[in-house]
């Protein structure tokens, strides 16, 4: 009789441990939403563009309208597919990308393009 009670107690402890482990696994991992992933991708691009702007490479290539060179500078740091588009104050200086996916993030960065006057140049990075 004494062994029977110990076996039931041991079974109860094992079942509590199993249920507790399953609950811990289910509720310990926070699912990443698509919105959080988009925000982190955008923040990474903004930091990279700021870094390029501090080295004056960004302004040099943006004034010339050389989006491919800006893409080359960003490509070692970005894992996803992306395209850089440059706009001056009136028109776009490069072609808009054709993107067929719905998961697209766009980052805009505006700089003054000329010292003579305020002619803003917008650099857009499309991520998908």
Residue range 96-126, pLDDT digits in tens:
667 677 778 888 888 875 566 667 888 888 8
Same domain, 74 and 24: no
Rounded to the nearest angstrom, the gap between the alpha carbon of residue 57 and the centroid of all alpha carbons in its chain is 22
Q: Specify the pLDDT at position 3.
A: 80
Q: Are residues 107 and 123 in the same domain?
A: yes
pTM attached to this predicted model? 0.62
Q: How many domains does the chain have?
A: 2
Using the predicted structure, report yes or no on whether residue 26 has a pLDDT greater than 90. Answer: no
Give yes or no: residues 116 and 76 share one domain. yes
Quick one: 41 and 82 in the same domain? yes
d(CA 84, CA 78): 12
pLDDT of 62 strictly over 90 = no
Same domain, 90 and 39: yes
Quick one: 3 and 66 in the same domain? no
109 contacts 49 by C-beta, under 8 angstroms: yes
Range of the domain at 25: 1-30
Range scoring the smallest mean pLDDT among 28-37, 67-76, 117-126:
28-37
46 and 8 both lie in a single domain: no
φ, ψ (nearest 5 deg) of residue 75: -60, -35
Q: What's the pLDDT at 58?
A: 87
Whether residues 4 and 40 share a domain: the answer is no
Long-range contacts formed by 60-64: CB under 8 A, 24+ apart: 62/86, 62/111, 62/113, 62/121, 62/123, 63/113, 63/114, 63/121
At residue 116, the pLDDT reads 67
Nearest CA-CA partner of 88 in 56, 126, 52, 62: 62
Q: How far is 80 from 128, CA to CA, in rounded Å?
A: 6
Same domain, 72 and 111: yes
My answer on whether 7 and 43 are in the same domain is no
Residues 66 and 26 in one domain: no
125: enclosing H helix or E strand: strand 120-127
Q: Quick one: 81 and 106 in the same domain?
A: yes
Arithmetic mean of pLDDT, 4-20: 89
């Amino acid at each position: 009789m004494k062994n029977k009670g110990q076996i039931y107690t041991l079974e109860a402890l094992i079942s509590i441990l199993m249920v507790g482990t399953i609950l811990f696994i289910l509720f310990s991992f926070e699912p990443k939403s698509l919105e959080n992933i988009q925000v982190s991708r955008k923040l990474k691009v903004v930091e990279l563009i700021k870094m390029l702007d501090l080295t004056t490479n960004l302004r040099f290539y943006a004034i010339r309208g050389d989006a491919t060179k800006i893409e080359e500078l960003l490509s070692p740091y970005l894992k996803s597919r992306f395209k850089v588009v440059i706009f001056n104050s009136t028109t776009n200086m490069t072609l808009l990308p054709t993107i067929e996916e719905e998961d697209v993030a766009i980052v805009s960065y505006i700089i003054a393009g000329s010292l003579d006057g305020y002619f803003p140049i917008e650099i857009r990075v499309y991520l998908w």
